[in-house]
Structure 1
């Protein structure tokens, strides 16, 4: 980052701290829940975090979340339910692959 911009940012943060702007933030004093961003391209991370913090995720992230939930359900599912869950996993993976293929174009 540019040195001049860094100084401006630091100065603004210090001013905000002096005014107490950070004193009543939600989650103060609690451990932060960090998001694993290694699968998000660096140029898309800020946008992803903004969407996540607003309560919405891009479709591919919603699908990945759903796939992970289904895979977790599969571990404790009854044998008769496993084919249905596996089918949902396969469908979601297919939709995910289609979205990712479109993004490459």
Structure 2
């Protein structure tokens, strides 16, 4: 057995509020957001509960989305998709140019 302690992460209050806002302000589940942010569900659940309380939203949201909310959600989903695609592309481009520069510096 290993004597290594599990590393405990520390998050700023601003980060906690923003992470909770991803659940509160969108139709995404805690589970979906925790996978994206790579944090525990129980941790985010605690942050969401605290942020809802601070915002005066102690209970779960009730009722269906109205038409304007559905349109806004659709627009935001599209924007998130496009931003993720841009991020993927930029990552590939950065890798390409970094490897090209490495080859031009005499390794080839």
On whether the aligned pair clears a TM of 0.5, the verdict is: no
TM-score (norm. length: structure 1): 0.32
TM-score (norm. length: structure 2): 0.32
